[in-house]
């Protein structure tokens, strides 16, 4: 009997407890994945017709555990070195479990999320505080428009909401009337290192993919080029996007300078900081200076599911002026006609799960001091990895980490720094990554990257590997073993 009320209470608890055990053991497993099959093989195994006859719940659970879970990627494995989203914070897992059962819907406060609405407000205010936005006194939070942020399902959703704000800011009433003058709706991004989400956002919100790419240097805007572009395209730009940790090297933009240049040329331009990764700088006081100036941006995306060990999915868009969210609010007397209904201020989302309680629990458990300690441990891991790469003559580091991302490449025998064979270096790096994925023992991330520091060949497009030091389970011996594996693969591939 599938309904809780129809099942024996103790049997239901035992079954669900069994899953908690399975879940904890899954996360504590060292392996990235237990079983690897080709996509078509997984398809043929799992894409089946719905049986006519019911299956008892324990058998369904067993099928999930035996057949599906072994092929899932374990991002909390200490061998999963390419990203840092472990989802392994115990307080966050507890919050997530509670939310699953409590089933609150933050579209509305009074009858759908009486208390959850206020833990969400608290967590948004904690995030604002971390990045340096001022909060009104709690007693002055009288409506959702006094909160200064919304939670979404990811950086993409938060960035899209930011682009809607930029559009309404430059052309008020577009929500009502539609886009009439898209020529004013360009956005400026750094060339080659941006995240696709802002361009997609423009396409989704009817502005067309009007991206103006500005050259970079050291994975930040070339500030002279930025100034020149804004002068030249005066009246056409609705937003300048600054990566507070770009997607690849996690380099933090020179936020103060980008702010000052943009405001001096056109104060109507919406300044948006994508701090999906950069939120980490706010954890430890010694990194906070990297965020200087962010408090003067109009909006900031943060992605706790990337940097705070909380399970997917939870992101937030924070706005300097809380009332600016009125620009993208929608209204219906169906269920949202009340002061604290988040449904009014969260574009694209109706029913809204209590995802933020995972972060609420994580932040409560750590406190400010715990967040600083967490970040310091990550920085030590990152420094250790950086040292191991630098000490290895077969490896070359491409970035100077602002946070925890280390981007590096294998250098084939005979590499000539004066006349590098970029094609060969890339071919071997891609082959190394393909083997890493195929074997599934370790995980590094790979992407294309302009050589913006000129460590191989200035402006060449490279395909390096990326390590991230966020996962608290990574030890020095994991790092040594992983690099020995990479260099071993590189050496073997050179012989082929
Ligand atoms: C800088 C940046 N912005 C936005 C995103 C999108 O975030 P999400 O995948 O949570 O939608 C990413 C994802 O990697 C990112 O690196």
Q: Which atom of ligand 1 lies nearest, measured to the CA of 246?
A: 1
pLDDT confidence of residue 475: 97
Cα–Cα distance measured from residue 341 to residue 296, given in angstroms and rounded to the nearest whole number: 27
Residue 409 β-bridge partners: 396
Check if 158 has its Cβ closer than 6 Å to any atom of ligand 1.
no
Structure-block tokens of residue 110: 């009074």
Please say whether the structural domain 95-365 has been given the CATH code 3.40.640.10: yes
Cα–Cα distance measured from residue 210 to residue 184, given in angstroms and rounded to the nearest whole number: 9
Check if 451 has its Cβ closer than 6 Å to any atom of ligand 1.
no
Check if 276 has its Cβ closer than 6 Å to any atom of ligand 1.
yes
Each residue's pLDDT tens digit in the chain (496 positions)? Answer: 689 998 899 999 999 999 999 999 999 999 999 999 999 999 999 999 999 999 999 999 999 999 999 999 999 999 999 998 999 999 999 999 999 999 999 999 999 999 999 999 999 999 999 999 999 999 999 999 999 999 999 999 999 999 999 999 999 999 999 999 999 999 999 998 989 999 999 999 999 999 999 999 999 999 999 999 999 999 999 999 999 999 999 999 999 999 999 999 999 999 999 999 999 999 999 999 999 999 999 999 999 999 999 999 999 999 999 999 999 988 777 767 789 999 988 889 889 999 999 999 999 999 999 999 999 999 999 999 999 999 999 999 999 999 999 999 999 999 999 999 999 999 999 999 999 999 989 999 999 999 999 999 998 999 999 999 999 999 999 999 999 999 999 999 998 8
Q: How far is the CA of 118 from the centre of ligand 1 (A)?
A: 26
Helix (H) or strand (E) holding 119: helix 116-131
Give the full edge-to-edge strand order of the sheet including 445-446.
Answer: 395-397, 405-410, 465-468, 445-446
Q: How far is the CA of 313 from the centre of ligand 1 (A)?
A: 12
Cα–Cα distance measured from residue 244 to residue 402, given in angstroms and rounded to the nearest whole number: 10
Please state, as a whole number, how many other Cβ atoms lie within 10 Å of the Cβ of residue 44.
Answer: 11
Q: How far is the CA of 393 from the centre of ligand 1 (A)?
A: 33
Check if 244 has its Cβ closer than 6 Å to any atom of ligand 1.
no
pLDDT digits (tens, 9 = 90+) for 416-447: 999 999 999 999 999 999 999 999 899 999 99
Q: How far is the CA of 483 from the centre of ligand 1 (A)?
A: 27
What residue's CA is closest to ligand 1, atom 14?
247
How many angstroms from the chain centroid is the CA of residue 6? 40
Check if 247 has its Cβ closer than 6 Å to any atom of ligand 1.
yes
Cα–Cα distance measured from residue 280 to residue 12, given in angstroms and rounded to the nearest whole number: 40
pLDDT confidence of residue 112: 94
Q: How far is the CA of 425 from the centre of ligand 1 (A)?
A: 28
**In a mutational test of the pocket of ligand 1, which residue from 158, 161, 162, 247 has the highest number of ligand atoms less than 8 Å from its CB?**
247
Compute φ and ψ for 201, nearest 5 degrees. Answer: -60, -45
Q: Which atom of ligand 1 lies nearest, measured to the CA of 245?
A: 1
pLDDT confidence of residue 496: 82
**Helix segments in 297-419, DSSP class H:** 304-307, 356-390
pLDDT confidence of residue 243: 98
pLDDT digits (tens, 9 = 90+) for 14-31: 999 999 999 999 999 999
């Amino acid at each position: 009997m599938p309904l809780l009320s129809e099942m024996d209470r103790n049997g239901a608890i035992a079954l669900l407890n069994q899953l908690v055990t399975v879940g904890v053991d899954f996360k504590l497993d060292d392996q990235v994945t237990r079983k690897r099959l080709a996509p078509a093989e997984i398809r043929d195994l799992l894409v089946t017709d719905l049986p006519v006859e019911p299956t008892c719940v324990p058998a369904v659970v067993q099928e999930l555990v035996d057949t599906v879970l072994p092929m899932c990627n374990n991002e909390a494995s200490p061998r999963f070195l390419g990203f840092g989203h472990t989802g392994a914070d115990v307080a966050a897992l507890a919050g997530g479990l509670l939310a699953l059962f409590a089933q609150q819907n933050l579209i509305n406060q009074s009858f759908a999320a009486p208390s959850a609405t206020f833990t969400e407000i608290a967590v948004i205010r904690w995030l604002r505080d971390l990045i340096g936005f001022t909060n009104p006194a709690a007693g002055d939070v009288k409506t959702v428009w006094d909160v200064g942020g919304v939670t979404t399902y990811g950086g993409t959703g938060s960035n899209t909401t930011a682009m809607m704000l930029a559009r309404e800011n430059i052309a008020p009433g577009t929500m009502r009337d539609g886009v009439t003058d898209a020529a004013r709706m360009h956005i400026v991004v750094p060339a080659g290192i941006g995240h696709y989400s802002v361009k997609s956002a423009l396409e989704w919100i009817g502005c067309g993919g009007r991206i103006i790419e500005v050259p970079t240097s050291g994975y930040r805007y070339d500030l002279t080029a930025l100034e020149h572009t804004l002068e030249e395209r005066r009246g056409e730009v609705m937003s300048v996007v600054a990566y507070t940790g770009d997607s690849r090297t996690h380099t933090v933009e020179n936020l103060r300078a980008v702010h000052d240049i943009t405001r001096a040329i056109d104060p109507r331009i919406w300044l948006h900081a994508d701090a999906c990764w950069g939120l980490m700088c706010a954890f430890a006081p010694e990194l906070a200076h990297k965020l200087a100036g962010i408090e003067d941006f109009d909006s900031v995306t943060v992605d706790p599911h990337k940097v705070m060990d909380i399970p997917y999915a939870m992101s937030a868009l924070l706005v300097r002026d809380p009332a600016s969210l009125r620009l993208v609010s929608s209204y219906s007397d169906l269920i949202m006609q009340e002061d604290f209904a988040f449904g009014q201020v969260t574009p694209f989302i109706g029913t809204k799960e209590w995802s933020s309680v995972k972060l609420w629990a994580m932040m409560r458990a750590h406190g400010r001091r715990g967040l600083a300690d967490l970040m310091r441990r990550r920085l030590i891991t990152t420094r250790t990895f950086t040292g191991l790469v630098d000490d290895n003559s077969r490896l070359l580091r491409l970035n100077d980490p602002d946070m925890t991302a280390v981007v590096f490449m294998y250098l084939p025998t005979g590499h000539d720094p004066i006349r590098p064979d970029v094609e060969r270096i890339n071919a071997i790096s891609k082959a190394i990554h393909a083997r890493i994925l195929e074997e599934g023992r370790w995980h590094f991330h790979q992407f294309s990257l302009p050589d913006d520091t000129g460590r191989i060949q200035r402006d060449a497009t490279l395909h390096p590997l990326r390590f991230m030091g966020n996962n608290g389970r990574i030890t020095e011996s994991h790092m040594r073993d992983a690099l020995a594996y990479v260099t071993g693969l590189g050496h073997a591939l050179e012989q082929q």
